[in-house]
Amino acid sequence: MKLKTRKFPYPYKCGLAICSDIDNAASVKSFKSLMDYFNSARPTPHGDGLNMEVGNSFWFFSNSSKKQLSYFNKLSNKETQLATIIRNLWKSGHLDTLHSWGNFDLGGFSRKYAEKSLNELNKHGVKIPVWVNHGIGFNHQKIGDYPNMFGDDPTSSNYHLDLTLKSGCEYFWVGKSTHIIGQNCKKNLFSLSKSALQWMFKKTKYRYAKMPVYDLKNDLATPTKLRDGNVVWEFVRFINPWGGAGILDINEFTEQIKPGIINRLIKNEGYMIIYTHFNENVKNDLPEVLIKHLHHLKNRSDKKQVLIATTSRLLKYWEVSQYVTYEVIRNKKKIEIIIDKNLTGPTGSKNLDLDHLQGLTFYLNTNQQCIIKFDDAQISTKLNPPDETGKTSISIPWRKLDYYN
Between CA 58 and CA 25 the distance in angstroms is 10
**178-190 tens-digit pLDDT:** 999 999 999 888 8
Low-confidence ranges of the chain (pLDDT < 50): none
- Collapsed DSSP state (helix, strand, coil) of residue 350: strand
**Where would I find the beta strands (DSSP E) of 53-206?**
56-58, 61-62, 95-98, 102-103, 130-132, 171-173, 177-178
Identify the CA nearest to 197 among candidates 225, 219, 216, 176.
216
How far is 272 from 264, CA to CA, in rounded Å? 11
66 burial class (0-12, 13-18, 19+ CB within 10 angstroms)?
exposed
pTM value surpassing 0.85: yes
pLDDT 10s digits, 98-141: 999 999 999 999 999 999 999 999 999 999 999 999 988 899 99
Q: What is the DSSP letter of 397?
A: P
User: In the prediction, which pLDDT does 1 show?
Assistant: 66
